[in-house]
Structure 1
Amino acid sequence: MKVLVVSDSHGLTSELEQLRERHGEEVELFIHCGDSELSADHPALINYAVVRGNCDGDGRHSAELLQEAGNRKILITHGHRYSVKSGMMKLSYKARESGADIVCFGHTHYLGAEMVYDTLFINPGSIRLPRGRRERTYVILEILENEYKLKVYDYDKGEIITLEQTFSSNGD
């Protein structure tokens, strides 16, 4: 199963629509980790699982979501409620509490992915205002039986890196 993860688009619309067009054939789940600054019923967000960020005014967006993706649970949050700019401790507690295998979040605008014990944390960066790099990034995660494949894309230039993480199905 493939999952596209994007965050912090801050008002962009055609870019979100373009991501659906580019990857709609291969991706089964589209995730937006907040700060879209769009209404919940905006056409650019069709088919995205969307959470509310600190810059989102529409209260119809959920604060967080727990999505099933294949045999994995994905926790989707913006991250500001867990102080992710100061560290990952609060978010890692929430992941463990919710039984999440994968956590997708934004808020910092910094691209990053990390396995912490048996949980994969993904921040896709920002397609509007990236920090720490020039590329406007998003991620496509492929969930396999005992492996994650993570491809990082520059919105303007395409794939820039592929990472693979193998793990034991029993959490070892």
Structure 2
Amino acid sequence: MRILIVSDTHGYHKNLDRALESAGEVDMFIHLGDVEGGEEYINAVVGCEKHVVRGNNDFFSDLPKEEEFYIGEKKVFITHGHAYCVSLDPQQIKEEGKARNADIVMFGHTHRPYLEQDGSITVLNPGSLSYPRQEGRKGSYMIMETKDQGEAEFHQLFL
């Protein structure tokens, strides 16, 4: 299974289109918040299963604040992350993921890619497609690939 993971598009779709084209066929799409009115656009251009959460800039959105679901055998917890102080440190969101028995925690908000795999839990942030803040300032996203044995591989990609 191939999953495209994005965040912080802030209503700008050009780089989202580029990421969708570059990723090719995917089985699932995950957006970790700050779509800023892009829900209809995402629904129109993404034809697979979607999971989209509300970010701190999605003021009037009906999107859920958080979501828990399974990808194969892996329990996934997704949220934008601002309520867990991720701009300071990802430790609080990691602890929340552990408390929820999540195998994978995904968040956005910082506009910086992040990936930590410590054996019991994976914590990740794909960065921002529209307003990247890491060195080089290239829009970023992730591809998650699951194997038949349930193992997951994560690939950080840049536009």
Q: TM-score higher than 0.5 here?
A: yes
The aligned counterpart of 1:64 is 66
For 1:142, what is the secondary structure of its paired residue? Answer: strand
State the AA in 2 paired with 1:147. Answer: E
The aligned counterpart of 1:28 is 27
TM-score, with normalisation over the residues of structure 1? 0.80
Asked if residue 44 in structure 1 is aligned to residue 6 in structure 2, the reply is no
User: Which structure 1 residue ranges, 5 or more long, are not aligned?
Assistant: 156-172
1:78-97 aligned within 5 A:
78-97=80-99
CA distance in 2, matches of 1:3, 1:147: 13
Q: Which has the higher contact order (CA 8 A, sep 6+)?
A: 2
TM-score, with normalisation over the residues of structure 2? 0.86
CA distance in 2, matches of 1:149, 1:72: 12
Q: How many residues align?
A: 153
Q: Structure 2 vs 1, CA of residues 70 and 30 (structure 1 numbering), >3 Å: closer, same or farther? A: same
The aligned counterpart of 1:158 is none
The aligned counterpart of 2:77 is 75
The aligned counterpart of 2:104 is 102
Q: CA deviation at 1:21?
A: 4.4
CA distance in 2, matches of 1:148, 1:94: 21
User: Which structure 2 residue ranges, 5 or more long, are not aligned?
Assistant: none
Q: CA deviation at 1:117?
A: 4.4
- Tell me how large the CA RMSD over aligned residues is: 1.9
Identity of aligned residues (%): 36
